[in-house]
Structure 1
């Protein structure tokens, strides 16, 4: 994309949020609607020891039970905000809950883009003429990027490692927040606060997202995740001088990303194939450089 300033930075950050949401199973946050269930009505917290133990068991098993369905249809909404501006991206498609392969169509700022994740490689097809390199597709090798960013990037972006989140959950971290209808399915909502220090490479990760990772999960009667929501505030790289307002600080900017996913149609077919190599420009090195600059 040729646009500059805060709009282009937000668009890039939205892509990062979309990617995280696409391949992460079991991470979410209730955000500003604290104390309410998904219907907007007040919900009493399940604060007794027994209720918390039951909630902890439900949350810990939700990762395995959801991944056990192999595949699902997913809808996604990501809202990224920084410097007083925001961008919303919507997505829909199918995802392999075990290995993270997915096929999605993303829409942001009126532009439509196709995205695939195949064998831990991200492929994106921006609108015609907007992909660098003169080819229709770009790719980013997620394993190479994660290797440069440390174990934190892998644990947050690889469903095979998402169980680390469950292991970091204690009884004191789980509160039952009531019930709600999600896509026509009755669910129970749990609010969870994960101690980031207990996650792989937690010290580094805590510098990016803070000491705790608050999550909201909506589980169906079979213990599977039907909705997950996460609100994260991260320190991004310094704003470019050309895109900053007069007098604005050029130091690191605080970026908030809200990601909401809903899972339906478990067992649906996922047809995730890599595009022909001749149609792809490899942007892995650029992604690594950007991540190194912002870390």
Structure 2
């Protein structure tokens, strides 16, 4: 799979690229994520997100360790989302397709993707049906539009989601200043080479710093 996430706010935009492989059965994945000249190696294994940060960023990590980890299950249990950090968990991003409703489904065209004939559909995603839907709903609303390109075997070859994401409220519910700004986000995911074996090995524990609690504390301060 490949991912491209473009975020535009306050007259500026940032595009993050990711490519790798995902096992939809157990959610394990490995990806390389790039933003500008920054490159991050990322893995998800046993519902834990691991990221190998660029050398210049490890000074902010306890013990100056090259890898950080985030327990996605623990974050989700407290209403958070792993995708708050870069691309985060690609399985969570791909899960937008699970919230498709039968309302306003419209075929808008056909095209060829990676040699496969596909039909393009414009659909509505019910955010409340997604993993961590309650948290996401506060940011993007109850529904978002999505385009899907489906091949003759019923497999999704491409999906594109467009969202307007609200800024995080400050303490006491304040949304003043930069926190109140909205961001336009376009997420494009493409799939291919179905049936590929996916291996996502955990990095050595001695080289990994658990950042789960720090992330949860940060989310609590912003809520």
From 120, 135, 150, the counterpart of 1:219: 150
Q: Secondary structure at the match of 1:275?
A: coil
Alignment TM-score, normalising by the size of structure 1: 0.63
Shift in Å at residue 212 of structure 1?
A: 1.5
Shift in Å at residue 198 of structure 1?
A: 5.8
- Separation of aligned partners in 2, 1:229 and 1:141: 27
Shift in Å at residue 174 of structure 1?
A: 0.7
Aligned to 2:17: 90
1:196 and 1:108, CA in 2 relative to 1: closer, same or farther beyond 3 A? closer
8 Å CA contact 2:68–2:211 kept in 1: the answer is yes
Q: Secondary structure at the match of 2:27?
A: coil
1:112 counterpart = 2:39 = yes
- Separation of aligned partners in 1, 2:108 and 2:139: 28
- Separation of aligned partners in 2, 1:289 and 1:84: 29
Structure having the larger proportion of residues in strand = 2
Structure having the larger proportion of residues in helix = 1
Residues 107-159 of structure 1, C-alpha deviation per residue, up to 9 Å, x if partnerless? 111111100011111100011241212001001111111111169x99x8287
Task: Figure out how many residues of one structure are paired with residues of the other and give that number.
Answer: 208
- Separation of aligned partners in 1, 2:131 and 2:57: 37
From 76, 80, 87, the counterpart of 1:146: 76
Structure 1: unaligned runs, 5 residues or longer:
1-73, 240-247
Aligned to 1:137: 67
8 Å CA contact 1:103–1:271 kept in 2: the answer is yes
Instruction: Give 1:129-208 correspondences, 5 Å limit.
Output: 129-131=56-58, 132-133=61-62, 134-149=64-79, 157=92, 165-166=99-100, 169-170=101-102, 172-196=103-127, 205-208=136-139
Instruction: Give 1:21-100 correspondences, 5 Å limit.
Output: 74-100=1-27
Residues 216-252 of structure 1, C-alpha deviation per residue, up to 9 Å, x if partnerless? 110000000000111112123269xxxxxxxx93442
1:175 and 1:96, CA in 2 relative to 1: closer, same or farther beyond 3 A? same
Aligned to 2:201: 273
- Separation of aligned partners in 1, 2:13 and 2:78: 29
Q: Which has the higher contact order (CA 8 A, sep 6+)?
A: 1
From 95, 98, 101, the counterpart of 2:28: 101
Q: CA RMSD in A?
A: 2.7
Residues 170-198 of structure 1, C-alpha deviation per residue, up to 9 Å, x if partnerless? 2x321111101112221001110134456
1:121 counterpart = 2:48 = yes
Q: Secondary structure at the match of 1:130?
A: helix
8 Å CA contact 1:99–1:158 kept in 2: the answer is no
8 Å CA contact 1:101–1:120 kept in 2: the answer is yes
- Separation of aligned partners in 1, 2:212 and 2:17: 24
Aligned to 2:173: none
1:263 counterpart = 2:198 = no
Q: Secondary structure at the match of 1:278?
A: helix
- Separation of aligned partners in 2, 1:204 and 1:112: 28
- Separation of aligned partners in 2, 1:163 and 1:108: 25
8 Å CA contact 1:196–1:212 kept in 2: the answer is yes
